[in-house]
Each structure stands twice: as C-alpha cells, then as structure tokens.
Structure 1
Amino acid sequence: MSAADAVRQAPPRRYALVLPPGWVRIPLREGTKDALEKVLFSHMAEVPEGIARDDAMRFRLDMRRQLEKQARAARRNGGLDLYLPVLPRGGIFLMASFIVAEMPIGQNHPTPPEAVLTRLADENVPGGTATTVDVAGKPALRRSYRSVPDQEEPGSAPEAVRRIALPTRRVDYVLPVPDDPGRWISVTFSTPGDGDVDSEFTGVLVELFDAIVGTFAWSDE
C-alpha cells in the first residue's frame, strides 16, 4: 500500500456519541468479529417474546448472519461504525440502526463545505426533505425520506422473527470533517418502525436518532 493510499484509507478524526441504554457500537474497520460475538452472546441474553427456548440459539445465529451481512455492506460503502439496539423493549427488539461512514465528496478537488451543503440541499429528495442544520457547532445537512424495497429479503429464522423487507424511514446527516478539506462523513439512520413509516411510533424512533446526533462531538483523543 502506498503512502497516499494509507492516507485515503485512514479514518477521519475521532468522534463521540452518547447512546441510549441498550444500544451498542459495532466497529467496521477492525474488531468487527469480536464485537458481534459480544453482542450476540452477552448483550442478547434475552430473545423476543414468541420465540421458543429451543429456538433461541437459532435466533441468535440468524441474527449474526444478518448483522454480518449488514456490516459487510456498510464497510464496502465506507462504513466506520454500525450502531443498533440489542436489548428488547417490552419483549420486542427495535428494528432500527444507523451507520457512520466516510463519504467520497471532494477528495480530489476539495470544495468549501458551504458550497457542498448548498448543492446537496438543492438536490431533489423524492418524498422527503433536506435542510441545513447545526451539528457539533458546524453546519451540516439533514435529509429525511422514505425507502420502498423492491422485494422481500430472504431469511431462515423462525416465522416470528423472519426479517421481511419493509418500507423504511431514513434520515441522513452529512457532516464535513473540521480542518480537513475534502473529508466528509454521513450518519445514516434506517427503520421500518412498526410497519407504518408515518406512525407516531416511527416518529419517536426518528426523534431518538435526532437526539443521538445532537450529542455528536469531534474528539482528538
């Protein structure tokens, strides 16, 4: 690997987030396997209501396959970290997650952040909105929209936990890395909520994500 390649592949400055109880971070650049093991066999001591005791291991193995698939896809797209809830609420696991990833914006020809944000805000977001917001004391972009799947996602879990591809509510934050021209990250949230992307329950999950991003801070530690 050349020195230039090493620079391009180095992650941005460190950041910090305050997570709600029951949420965990899965690093995607290194330590992914160990983090998944900890999540599945330490944090996930409980299984959702409706899953028989004899199906508990099968449930965890299926969850591991799903999480590994999600982690691989996120890493291929510049993912740094995957965040998800691992403790059930009222016997139900929340179907939600968000990914922090690098974005290939202006890496070869750095552009002033204000110009990039203006251009992104002007782009059409079908069925959604794009607004300029403040994150960690700096301008950023927030996009909110719906995503409709083309087909069901296959799965081998018991019917009670089989993951079906549902319409999802998505929220993206796009942030420039301070004092590092041409470096950007995204924080992308996705949830089918309770199956209705416009329901009050789904709205509460979006508000929770917005609150998490509200704790975002850059760190040199």
Structure 2
Amino acid sequence: MPTEQTEPATTAGALVTGYRLILPDDWAQIPLRHGTEEAVRSILDEAFRRIPPGSPEDKVGPYKRELERRFRAAVRRVQEGNALDLYLPVKSADNVNLGASIVVSETLLPRRHEQTAHVEPTDVAVQLLVNDGADNIDLSSGELDGALAVRREHVADADLDRGADLGSRRVEYIVSVPDDPDRWFTAAFSTVGGGDPRDELADALVEWFDAVMATLRWRRG
C-alpha cells in the first residue's frame, strides 16, 4: 500500500509538500518529526505479540527489554541525523529478518545570493555525492517523477561505534525537488544481505529498492 509523507517538508510558497513511496505491507513507517513514539510503541507491541504463549517470564522479560533498548537506540541514531522517516521490515509473518532499512531525509542547500551564474542541479548533486571520499562508488543519474535523480551505491565497512556490527550495501537516491533547486530529497537504503553485503540476497534487495524508488511521487499542496 502507498506510504505517504504527511509532514509538510517545504518552505513557504513551495509546491511540493511531501512524497509517496509504495512499499510492501511488511514494511513499517516510523515518522521522525511527529508521531515517533506512537509508531515505535505499535511496532514493539506487534513484536511482543509474536512471542509464543507460555514462554518463561524469566526469559521473556530480559528479551523484551533488550529488544526495546536496541530498537529505540536505532531510531534515536536516525533521528540525530534530522531525517524525516525511517522504514523497517518489521511485520514479516515468517519472522525473517532482512537486516535492511530505508531512511528518508531532506537537504536544504545554503542560498548564495551573490552568485549570478546558474548552477545545474546535476553539478550540485555530483559534487555532494563524491565529496565524502568513499571508494568504489557506483554513480549514475536519471529522473524520478520528472525530477533529476542521482543514484549512489557502495559497500560500507562495519562501524562498531555506530552500532553497525557488519558491513552493509548502501544505495542512495538524491533527488532535486521540483520548483526549488536548493532542496534535495534523499532516500538511503542499507542492507547486510545474508551476512555479506555483496551476496545474492543483497543483490536482490538492491534491485527491490530500485523498484521501490521508481514509485516515488511528489505530494503537492
């Protein structure tokens, strides 16, 4: 079913007020500006309901506390990046953990009033993507719902300090928001695959994310 950004991510007078992405029902949306606690609580309650009835309380209690601690910590880390939404595959009926996530955010570039030369959105996007110095980046460009989109893919090493125990395959779409060249929409996908970010599961999930991004549609006020 369509998942729609309801937080108006816009400046006064802008026509684009949000976005829509079509995701499977087993992916849950966690809005990070408003309604975060309600979404987190609903996801945790659903996870706790999957615990088999009659399980010993001395095992269930610590498990639930640790699950909640880890989950809330992960959400907080994303919130600290000032993102709009976090999507996680948390409703799988067969309890398969895909080890994947999608983080949606928005970037507003500083306005340079003294600059007279026109800067193409493509030039700005490429500069943003390559400035971090990461190696082995796959970079391409195209359009999504009529807007310039730059796709960036790479493999990131494990980072224990940030809670990443395994390396991950990462794909980012940075999209120029229509009618405002200083605004950029970013959807960042990450997966550990089956334990190796270059394995067949990771490949399949990257293809799936590309298909999800093809459903991007702007929400206009």
TM-score, normalised on structure 1? 0.78
1:114 aligns with 2:118: no
What do residues 187-221 of structure 1 show as CA deviations (whole Å, max 9, x unaligned)?
Answer: 00111111111111111111111111111110125
Distance (whole Å) between structure 2 residues aligned to residue 109 and residue 68 of structure 1: 38
Q: Does residue 1:97 correspond to 2:101, yes or no?
A: yes
Letter of the structure 1 residue corresponding to residue 182 of structure 2? G
User: Within 5 A, what are the aligned runs for 1:12-91?
Assistant: 13-42=17-46, 45-46=49-50, 53-54=55-56, 55-56=59-60, 58-88=62-92, 90-91=94-95
- d(CA) in 2 for partners of 1:153 and 1:62? 17
Gap change, CA 1:93 and 1:122, over 3 Å in 2: closer
Q: Deviations over 1:59-95 (max 9, x none)?
A: 4443332232222222222200000101236442221
- Same amino acid, percent of matched pairs: 31
Unmatched 5+ stretches in structure 2: 1-9, 114-118
Equivalent residue letter for 1:53: S
Give aligned pairs, total: 201
AA of the residue aligned to 1:130: L
Contact 2:147–2:177 under 8 Å retained in 1: no
In structure 2, do the counterparts of structure 1 residues 44 and 135 end up closer, same or farther at CA, with 3 Å as the change threshold?
A: farther
User: Secondary structure of the residue that 2:22 maps to in structure 1?
Assistant: coil
Q: Secondary structure at the match of 2:188?
A: strand
CA distance in 2, matches of 1:184, 1:168: 24
What is the CA distance between 1:166 and its match in structure 2? 0.4
Q: Is the 8 A contact 1:146 1:168 kept in 2?
A: yes
Segments of structure 1 that go 5 or more residues without pairing to the other structure are 1-5, 155-163
Q: Could you say if the C-alpha distance between residues 89 and 42 of structure 1 is closer, same or farther in structure 2, counting changes exceeding 3 Å?
A: closer
2:91 is paired with a residue whose SS is coil
